Structure 1
Amino acid sequence: MLKEKEIYKGKNLFFISNRDKFFKLQADSLVNKAGVRKDSIIAIVFEVDKEIEVTKIDGIEYVDFNVSDLNLMMEAKSFTFMSLNNWNAPIAEALINKDKRILQKLYIFITDDEVERWKINYQKNKCLTEDFNSNISKSCISVLQNVKNFIAPVPYFKELILKVLDRKDVEFINCSIIFEILPFEQSQLLRESTGRDESYLKNNKKRVLIGTKSYKIIPFLKVLNDFNRYQKSSGEAVELLVFQNLLNRFLIDAFLLVRKLLRLKNTNVTYLSEMPPHLYSSLIGSCDYILLQDRGGASTARVFAKWGAGALLIKYGSPNYYFFKDVYKIDFISFDEKLKVSERIRHENLDTHSNSCKIIEEERRSIEIYRKLYDQEY
């Protein structure tokens, strides 16, 4: 491992755990979309799981975190933490305590998950309070009391973060997600080759992905009933795709069997299991609709809309409703308890090409900001 005095000088340091899943995609996008040089990036890896080896990108330096390197790191161009939690907060705190001047070049890449945890904690305690189970440690609170720069889309996150932190001296690097499910080149190839085969087109079956991850059983049964009614009244065949565990699959199958015994026609349900990213991307490209869970799944939904594959179905007033409305400004089909999904599908005809253009436009805007943030010439 290189330990020369100037190894970190002028470099963009990214602090990641050895089981990190997002840095590889983020770094790939920074290099291939924003033109950031590989040799300007160093990943500082801290171990949280002895059984896992970090997945690396060729050409990018990976260095195991060592507290003795803190002095050497002070010469870096930037310090980026991919989210903030119990594992990496002590490192950010140590850097800040070593030299507060680095606050000008220290950035926290914000995710919806952590902000949701902060919000719940704040609502419960009227201020951020230590809660190890929610990944809010004393170090995390200390960092949030000092950090100046957050990388996050302003329309969705700014107001909430300022409220939770009870601060006004915070800067936002107004960027949205630029990475996809697959690395850049693989994603491009898949997008160019994705298409529905002739038999699928002839069947004229609507494919609906219910959630981008496991979907709760009761809400799913409500959606299933809704699409059963839609299929009966419209005459169009529908296939619902859903991630479910074995117990829930058994319950759903029992429900469908009862309906069959009553001679009621069922919507076809296909169960999904965890799959490699390239298969998941192909699945996304084959769907007509994605019914998003209330929160999470934005990166998958963004790729779906960017590819112009179909329409998003989002519950009115949910976090995802505001995220796609305010950040990407695309058209989607909203629904609530009174206005069912199937009724909205019947009467909506969205311009998926226009949505694709809006996603790409927002991505390009964010790419330019990332380029200026991490380019060594700036």
Structure 2
Amino acid sequence: MRNLLLIYCLFLLLSCGNKQEKIFPTKIHLTESVYASVTVQPDSLYQAYAPVAGILDRNLLEEGDLVSRGTPIMQIVNSTPKLNAENARLALQLAQENYNGSSAVLGSLKDEIQSATLSFKNDSMNYLRQKRLWDQNIGSKVEFENRKLAYEISGNNLKQLKNKYVQTKNELSTQVQQARNNYNTSQISTKDFTVSSKINGKVYALYKNPGEIVNTMEPLASVGSATDFIIELLIDEVDIVKLQVGQKALVTLDAYGDKVFDAKVSKIYPKKDERSQTFKAEAIFINLPKALYPGLAGEGNIIISEKEGVLTIPKEYLLEGNKVKTPDGLVDVIPGLQNLDRVEIINGINETTEILKPEE
């Protein structure tokens, strides 16, 4: 009796040991998608900076206020640009006086040119008179050559003075234009004490309080669209080549639980972020959630392709990427589309093929 009991137990152990989980391939609607982490941001979101350094006098709006293009957001106090504008005005005035000829610069050149012109006329007449005499063999050669030399020297001197006058006038004209540009720039700076919105939208953040020092390197406010939002997608570099503009995306947001929102890929950035080793893409909502806020996070799946009636097996039943285990041994298959759970089998097995789960 004891021997029979032992044999029966051994049979049960062997039966349990030989039992292996098995399935049959099934046909389903299969969707292949690419995973992406999601962050929602307002469209046209930008950081507003101060055009001049100074002290923040007051914020003219609050976070959440709607703005139109040109609406003042905050006021800055700074006296330096006014002083610079006054200095620029004085420099422009001086440059204009120099250029208009009322200064000693062009005036003295004109006097020199006038004197040189008289000398040139005098030397010219003396030279021509002496030349006529010399042509009649009257006078000495030395005297003729001296008159000729004086004529040439005074001519060159007059030419150089005229060139110098033109060059000086051009330089003074350039100085006037430069001074005018500096003055116009300083005038713009004096008007830039108020930071205004560049778009129609909403103020999402104010980073400084009245009385704090501001500079041109730190943002003062964040402004973006009040109605239009974009979905920022971070894509793994192994998946970026599968993406195309216009592909459908299914998005879930942590704030909305399991609710799925339809979206469409609108832009793919070509540069990889070396720190995160990801690529960035953008999508737009097809059905907009009832309320959106900057920074809402979630997940997205970008649909790469879809097929109806696809023969599939669970991914864990696929061995070495192209084999499945059957009661008759390993069988080569050709895989196709795949998602997180299942993989398409294009060839090698059918719906009646018994597939054994690989042993762990």
Same fold (TM over 0.5): no
- Greater Rg, structure 1 or structure 2? 2
Say which structure is richer in helix. 1
TM-score normalised according to structure 2 size: 0.17
Which fold has the larger relative contact order, with Cα–Cα distance below 8 Å and residues 6 or more apart in sequence?
2
Say which structure is richer in strand. 2
